[in-house]
Amino acid sequence: MLIITGTMGAGKTTVLAEASDILALRHITHAAIDLDALGLAHLPSAASDDGVTYRNLQSVCRNYASHGVKRLLLARAMEDRAELELCRSVVSATNTVICRLIASIETMQRRVKMRELGVSQRDYVARVPKLNVILDRARLEDFTITSENRSPTDIAVETLVKAGWISN
């Protein structure tokens, strides 16, 4: 499993999609999942958003596994080791590599502001530096790649090479 992590606006979803395209062009069987999309819901207060998200991930992974998928790309801002271990256990990952995408706070906030045009825009932009501090403290990544002033293709190739999934 290759987890692409980073603060909001770091480029996780963009790099996930580009890495998936690169793997597909090389005929490498895989699945690419934006974990936030599996948990996009407003649940009753008794329900745990993360619990539902990870049960959804488990179902999706079972489905992919039944079709022979053994490589999994995930995009998610992994905030702590407990979440990482939950993720590993849910997908039964034997080998996990974590790439953290980074950029300046200003760049990430600008990206979020351009992408999030709705009622929560201000909250999302304000969350960028807070989440960056959380990820700095967690230090879950195996390697870091800058996404500032680079093409998604260059970032995705570097990510896949450093993860050992492709050669350059």
Model pLDDT for residues 66-88, shown as the tens digit of each residue: 999 999 999 999 999 999 999 99
pLDDT tier for residue 161 given thresholds of 50, 70 and 90: very high
pLDDT of 168 over the 90 cut: no
pLDDT value of position 63: 96
pLDDT value of position 75: 98
Model pLDDT for residues 119-139, shown as the tens digit of each residue: 999 999 999 999 999 999 999
Mean per-residue pLDDT over the chain, rounded: 94
Rounded CA-CA distance 165/83 in Å is: 24
- The answer to whether the CB of 129 falls within 8 A of the CB of 32 is no
Instruction: Look up residue 40 and give its two tokens.
Output: 């996009």
pLDDT value of position 46: 62
The residue among 45 and 135 whose pLDDT is bigger is: 135
Q: Measured between alpha carbons, how far is residue 31 from residues 116, 126, 132, 134 in Å?
A: 26, 32, 27, 27
pLDDT of 47 over the 70 cut: no
Helix and strand counts by DSSP (H, E) for the chain: 7, 5
pLDDT tier for residue 107 given thresholds of 50, 70 and 90: very high
Residue recorded with tokens 């999942």: 33
pLDDT value of position 31: 97
pLDDT of 51 over the 90 cut: no
Rounded CA-CA distance 81/118 in Å is: 31
Instruction: Please name each of the domains of the chain with its CATH number.
Output: 2-162 (3.40.50.300)
pLDDT value of position 23: 98
Instruction: Look up residue 164 and give its two tokens.
Output: 């050992």
C-beta atoms surrounding 156 within 10 Å: 26
Average pLDDT of the residues in 90-108? 95
**Could you tell me the sign of the dihedral formed by the alpha carbons of 116, 121, 123, 125, in that order?**
positive
The gap from C-alpha 132 to its chain's centroid, in whole angstroms, comes to 14
